[in-house]
């Protein structure tokens, strides 16, 4: 791997994430951020890993940076919602999932996550709607 290849370091972090090697993944993301602090995907990847490590407040910082770099990235909004959900800040999680859906109407995972939060809040009728929409997305 090229030592200065930001994309490769980010991809390495993503692969470690997919392999559920969460403690090792942040190092690759940090290296990518060190090489290019304006590379939003590295910030998003770091945030996703931090959510898995249950470091929700740190994850929010990473997602905030990623959003500043690419406001319309639905994956970042989903990740931010997951971090808020981990902190039991359900209203903020709902806002984030709504943003993810606004930027990608076919983003099935955001519908499911919004349904999960609505259910946790006891808003069962609305939750059912989101689960139905989730199931309709190809």
- What digits encode the pLDDT tens for the residues 48-71? 999 999 999 999 999 999 999 999
End-to-end CA distance of the chain: 36
Q: Which CATH architecture has domain 88-138?
A: Alpha Horseshoe (1.25)
Residue with tokens 């500043």: 68
Give yes or no for residue 24 having a pLDDT over 80. yes
Domains 1-70 and 88-138 share a fold: yes
Hey, which CATH number is domain 1-70, 1.10.3720.10, 1.25.40.10, 3.30.470.30, 2.40.110.10?
A: 1.25.40.10
What is the tens place of the pLDDT at every residue in 98-133?
A: 999 999 999 999 999 999 999 999 999 999 999 999
What was the pLDDT predicted at 17?
A: 87
112-121's contacts with Cβ under 8 Å and 24+ in sequence apart are 113/78, 113/81, 113/82, 113/85, 116/85, 117/81, 117/85, 117/90, 117/93, 118/94, 120/90, 121/90
The number of residues making up the chain comes to 138
Q: Where are the domains of the chain?
A: 1-70, 88-138
Confirm if 52 and 39 have CB atoms less than 8 A apart. Answer: no
Average pLDDT of the residues in 25-41: 94
User: Residue 63 has which token pair?
Assistant: 């997602």
């Amino acid at each position: 791997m090229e030592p200065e290849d930001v994309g490769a370091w980010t991809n390495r972090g993503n692969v470690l994430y997919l392999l559920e090697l969460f403690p090792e993944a942040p190092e690759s993301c940090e290296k990518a951020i060190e090489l290019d602090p304006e590379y939003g995907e590295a910030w998003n990847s770091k945030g996703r890993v931090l959510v898995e490590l249950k470091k929700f407040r740190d994850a929010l910082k990473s997602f905030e940076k990623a959003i500043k770099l690419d406001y319309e990235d639905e994956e970042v909004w989903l990740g931010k919602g997951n971090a808020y959900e981990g902190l039991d800040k359900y209203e903020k999680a709902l806002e984030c999932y709504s943003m993810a859906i606004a930027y990608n109407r076919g983003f099935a995972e955001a519908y499911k996550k919004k349904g999960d939060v609505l259910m946790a809040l006891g808003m069962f009728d609305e939750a059912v709607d989101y689960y139905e929409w989730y199931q309709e997305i190809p």
